[in-house]
Amino acid sequence: MGERPVRPDEPAPSRTALWRAGEVAHARGEFVGQESFMRAGEIRALARRAGIGPGVSVLDLCCGVAGPGRMITAESGCRYLGVDSSAGAVGIARGLAGGLPCRFEQAHVPPLPDDRFDVVLLLETMLAFRDKAPLVEAVAGVLPAGGRFACTVEEGPPLTPVERARMPQADTVWPIGLAELTGLLRAAGLAVTWQEEWTAAHAETATALLRSYEADAAGISAALDSAALADLLRAHRAWADWLGSGRVRKFALVAEKR
Ligand SMILES: C[S@@+](CC[C@H](N)C(=O)[O-])C[C@H]1O[C@@H](n2cnc3c(N)ncnc32)[C@H](O)[C@@H]1O
């Protein structure tokens, strides 16, 4: 969701035009370095629903540069491990974590780290997994009874060929029906205990990000080459349209291991 390439030599995001564009697009206090359409308030709400608190062990899958993970760790006192396949993102996440008790691993998931966690997070990246069953089974495998899986999901029918042609990196964009996802979760022993629709808010954020990127395209082109910038704008135009029209809906949910 709103994914962009992170260059290994990229400077701290706080110094980049992309970071500034994120701050401009969000209301004050709502941008914490997330690479997504979530607001800080939504990240906090989902963390609270998942029961993240002092000492709770949290595995954050596809953490990116871990804006959400760093905020959750700082505010809750949880024990945090973030995993991402991008070496650049993990390097930036480590650099920004400073004195926080966050750990990071570079890995492509699944498989998941060989450990147990009270909570598994997957923020704004469910759509990257074409076959979601192995991922959901792996998540269930690291949760004890009573453990929680908290995620956002891009809900809707698969993209058509025309829609796929419109979306850059369409091989990482696989929406799913809510009933189908709930079925996969149930089959893995995970029961949905809470869900909320966030489509309208995420359409607003996608549109605000698009405007912000367009307004500072010159500044952003210092961090991204012209093809990457064009892809960023095309992707955000598509998301603003699809979320705005309800073609793709956004849900947040928590599922508990039985
Ligand atoms: C849209 S970003 C979301 C980052 C973060 N969760 C957030 O909300 O700010 C998606 C991230 O998922 C990572 N990713 C995608 N597929 C992955 C996989 N199979 N294993 C590990 N990381 C993956 C990408 O490298 C990218 O950093």
Q: Over the stretch 85-127, which tens digit does the pLDDT of each residue have?
A: 999 999 999 999 999 999 999 999 999 999 999 999 999 999 9
Domains of the chain: 13-257 (3.40.50.150)
The alpha carbon of 64 and the centre of ligand 1 are apart by a number of angstroms equal to: 5
* C-alpha of residue 82 to centroid of ligand 1, in Å: 10
- Can you give the pLDDT at residue 16? 81
36, 42 Cβ separation under 8 angstroms: no
Q: Is 67 in the pocket of ligand 1 (CB under 6 A)?
A: yes
Q: Could you give the C-alpha distances from 52 to 29, 56, 72, 201, 226, in angstroms and in order?
A: 21, 6, 8, 23, 40
Q: How far apart are CA 96 and CA 90, in angstroms?
A: 10
Looking at every residue in the chain, the average pLDDT score rounds to 94
- Does the Cβ of 35 fall within 6 Å of ligand 1? yes
**Distance of CA 245 from the midpoint of ligand 1 (Å):** 25
CA 237 vs. chain centroid, Å, equals: 18
Q: What's the rounded mean pLDDT across residues 201-211? A: 98
2: confidence class by pLDDT, cuts 50, 70, 90: very low
pLDDT tens per residue across span 28-82: 999 999 999 999 999 999 999 999 999 999 999 999 999 999 999 999 999 999 9
Kindly give the distance from the C-alpha atom of residue 62 to the centroid of ligand 1, in angstroms, as a whole number.
3
Are 142 and 117 contacting, i.e. CB atoms less than 8 angstroms apart? Answer: yes
* Whether the CB of 122 sits within 6 Å of ligand 1: no
126-151: per-residue pLDDT in tens? 999 999 999 999 999 999 999 999 99
**Ligand 1 contacts CB of residue 15 (under 6 A):** no
